[in-house]
Amino acid sequence: MSRPDTRVVRKLQHVFYTAFDLAVVSAILLLVVLVYVHQYGSTVLDRYPEKQKLPQSSVILASDGTVLRRIPLPESGYRVTARLEEMPELLVETFLAVEDQRFYSHQGLDYPGILRAALHNTVQLSASEGGSSITQQLARNLYLNRDKNMLRKLKEASLALALEKRLPKQEILQLYLNQIYMGHGQYGVKSAAEYYFGITQLKELEIWQIAALAAIPKGPSVYNPEAEGERPKGRRDLVLRMMQQRGLITHAEMAAAMSKEFQPVERARAQRIGDSYMDAALKEASRLTGQPLEELRTGGYTIVTGMNPGAQQALEETFGNPEFFPPDGTTQQVEAAMAIINHNTGDVVALTGGRHPSIGGINRAIIDARQPGSAFKPIIDYGPALESGRFTPESILPDRKERYGDYSPDNLNGIYRGQVNMALALQQSINAPAVWLLKQVGIANARSFAAKLGVTLPPEDNNLSIALGGLHTGVSPLKMAQAYSVFASGGTFHEAHTVRSIADAEGKTLYKYTSAQRQVISQRTAASMTVMLRNVVNNGTGAKARMNVPVAGKTGTTQAGLPGVTGKANRDLWFVGYTPDLTAAVWMGFDRTDKDNSMTAGSGKAAGLFSAVMNKVYASTRR
């Protein structure tokens, strides 16, 4: 063989070996890709099974059915799911016609669609058209981010194939129609139908509305019905033509639908109220169901509360007026909290945990953290004494300086009268008779009485200082209102509750409040206490709580007791009282009392706030 022929052969051999090597490498890479595509999707589905349970917005309702709050999803949107059976067939078929015509014939990947999109994008020198099937879109939205690269496309394909193997077509389609983003923070067709058209029953959708919904997924920000310009209508009309071409609607129906003009739904821009109430209701619902708070927020639950929106609005409006509060401190604002109970039912009709409440903020209305001062006397001193049968409002009690071991309580201003009757001792909030009375009744008996009213004291509160409201951890306004509500209801205990009922996403009732009212103290005790507490308001320390309806109640004050601060400085101001219909507790104070932040105002300020709120509440119920 000549030398030129040898060189040709060698070149051919080199080309052959190179091609062979490339083929082997390509085969290995293809095998790796195939293995990756086969394994990745199954692995991810096994690792994150919770992804297929779509979070949906829970709804909190007032006692009259008013929607108080639709709780946003973690991604700051809203979703209400629907089963396929709840959707009109035309809606489902239209989405299939627009998004994935071969949905029922492919196994997750629409190869003709992918090829068509690739050719289109090659010709246009862009990536303007996608070939993703509904299953691929679902896989991307559930498991992947929005990056556009080859690895993500491989992951998407792998997940789509795995989903098709795991789930029936109908379940994939239902997931997609509930998961898809529809603009303006709405996820799924049901949320979108209500948001854009005010329609809660999907089978009530008209043809043009179905087309408008199916037009959105291609570009939620530009094709949703409320987007500016002609593009939303143009896209909707394109969908209508597709519906007519596929025989889903007639030409006449298409023409009629095209003539429809979208009119935005009027949405009430009501002032947001009840952040503290929502917080209390969710915590109560969690305790009742055993579900964590996050599940209650995103599980599609419907929670009906006992809130009266008018009363809540009245409460928050009054709290927004600074004239009802003591002056602020150097570094803090005086805070306040209030709870109002319907003592005939136990419904908490209004509640706020601060002057400027917020979701996740401190809810002072439900935290057992403040000393109740003399507002505790009816619960721990005078109530137990009346219930014992040994004392009446006319009973004469000693009013002199006494020492009980290491404990020696003082009267305000050091004034002692020698002796007073029980009604006057309560009216003037005299300390010495109250402590003496607790000693006579017995601490154990008094603690048992308080527990019947809903105030269970810890072992540390087993001393005479509780006679004046000196508690180890303190109480909350809600707990104080609960206790006084027993006096207001003639000795009957109705458990204070924010939650009336809880239903899951399927509408199944998980909890319904049933009144377990019980007579826990005698009617005689309750009636005598009411007479004495009305006397406190009419002639005693609670005068600023007076209203145009009878009010019974008691003030409470705890002193700051700080070195270098005037002895007149106070830490807590209380008023707890009731009308014939409602029981309420008001607390005022600083979150941290110190030399720069204390109050010189007295408990009359709390009594005045009680009156202002309750007058407004009564006015709201008369409207």
For the chain, what are the domain ranges? 87-179, 187-263, 373-473
pLDDT digits (tens, 9 = 90+) for 203-247: 999 999 999 999 999 999 999 999 999 999 999 999 999 999 999
State the catalytic residues: 99, 374
Contact between residue 354 and residue 367 where contact means Cβ atoms under 8 Å apart: no
Confidence of residue 125 (pLDDT cuts 50, 70, 90): very low
CATH number of the domain at 87-179, please? 1.10.3810.10
Q: Which residue has the higher pLDDT, 117 or 502?
A: 502
pLDDT for residue 36 is more than 60 = no
Whether residue 13 has pLDDT greater than 80 = no
Q: What is the pLDDT of residues 251-289, one digit of tens each?
A: 999 999 999 999 998 876 556 899 999 999 999 999 999
Whether 187-263 and 373-473 share one fold: the answer is no
The residues near 287 (Cβ < 8 Å, ≥ 6 apart) are: none
Q: Tens digits of per-residue pLDDT, 287-307?
A: 999 999 999 999 999 999 999
Which residue shows structure tokens 């009604």?
Answer: 423
Per-residue pLDDT band for 29 (boundaries 50, 70, 90) equals low
Q: Which CATH class is domain 373-473?
A: alpha beta
- The tokens for 115 are 């090829």
Ranges 108-117, 132-141, 181-190, 385-394: which has the least confidence: 108-117
Whether the per-residue pLDDT at 130 is higher than 70: the answer is no
Which residues are within 8 A (CB) of 586 and not within 5 positions of it... i.e. 6 or more apart? 336, 337, 338, 477, 574, 575, 576, 606, 607, 609, 610, 613
Name the architecture of domain 187-263.
Orthogonal Bundle (1.10)
Which single residue is written with the structure tokens 């005790």? Answer: 525
- pLDDT digit string (tens) for 145-200? 777 777 778 888 889 899 999 999 999 999 999 999 999 999 999 999 999 999 99
Q: In this structure, what token pair is assigned to residue 8?
A: 């040709």
CB burial of 392-412 (b: ≥16 within 10 Å; e: otherwise) equals: ebebebebeeeeeeeeebebe
Q: Coil, helix or strand for 426? A: helix
Q: What is the pLDDT of residue 359?
A: 81
Which is more confidently placed, 31 or 185?
185
Give the pLDDT mean for 413-435: 96
Tokens of 535: 């006397």
How far apart, in whole angstroms, are the C-alpha atoms of residue 189 and residue 195? 10
Least confident of 27-36, 85-94, 361-370, 549-558: 27-36
Question: Between 241 and 36, whose confidence is greater?
Answer: 241
